[in-house]
Amino acid sequence: MKTSTASMLYFDHSASTPPHPDVIRTMTEVMEQIYANPSSIHHMGGQAEQLVRRAREVVAGALNASPNDVIFTSGATESNNLAILGTVGALAGGRSRHIITSAVEHASVYECFRELEREGTAVTYLPVDEHGRIRPEDLEAAIRPETALISLMHVNNETGSVQPLAEAGRIVREHPGIVFHVDGVQGLGKLPVDLEGWGVHLYSLSGHKIRGPKGVGALLRRGQAPLKPLFAGGAQEHRLRPGTVNVPGVIALSKAVRLAVEEQQANYERWSELRGLLLSRLEEWDPLVLNSPPLPLAAPHIVNLSFPGMKSEVVVHALEELGIIVSTQSACSSKLHQPSRVLMAMTNDTERAASGLRISMGADTDAASIERLSDALAEVTKRLAPMRTSRR
């Protein structure tokens, strides 16, 4: 019999986070009181527009950007699509014949590159090392005179691997005209963000990964990077994202961004301790393989493990029966029932990539929950071990 939802321990914060109580209150108040269209010219529309302007200032302030840089979207997938397809579309007929990304990007980036490749754009997919990180020298060697765009994630959503963005930014600066996009979804609120130091032109973020609402995100566009809108319509969001602005959503997003940045250092220290506790309890397990790199090469809130010979979906459901929620890979890819593309790029080991588990911590994770998780993992893997042996 399954454990009740109320007693479940949730370790899937990389897929989605529970909204912060302050965010819920703020969004509810705005929905009740400010419902006019911010594009309307009457007084109530002006009130809504003023709130949107304030939200833009809060997001920009938290990330040391300008309010004019902030483009509100429906989430990170749209932000990433606008950054990539919008850049290539704006440069069509010019320097848009070659673009660069890594082999371990989130599907919302990776599939954009695949689509552009099918349409005739030359694409370089940078390999990664055993820690899931690109090598700066590979990036430098991949750049061509016709390169238009480089897109890299800050923190990998499956393993927590941190890309060397400072080094990448230094390389990009040596090639004026190349647009540098960073998918910052898993890094915001977990690690410091330095858009200026990294030389980033475009930066994507999502509300529901930082205890904000689903269905809202932003793309920061710095230095007037060239962009072509994906949609036709009105003049909202600097004429780059037409459509009625989601006023409650962007206000809630701005609060979530501010809270995430304010709490980042304290969360980093707490998650680092909890990560150490988890790994210390698991370190002597024979079937266990750790896929996440050590700190500081990884963000502390994600731990990726493999149990070669065991199907990750079987382990996930067995843990669920014990009241533990974990995941296999990105939620966007988990239902494909295929080995993780990220782990394959890191390890070239199909068995290891097919048995990966992602444990991602959040605000409600504490030492007691880590102990319960490790005990449950021990019980499940011991129970499944005979199945593992018989299949070999």
Active-site positions read 332
φ, ψ dihedrals at 129, nearest 5°: -85, -170
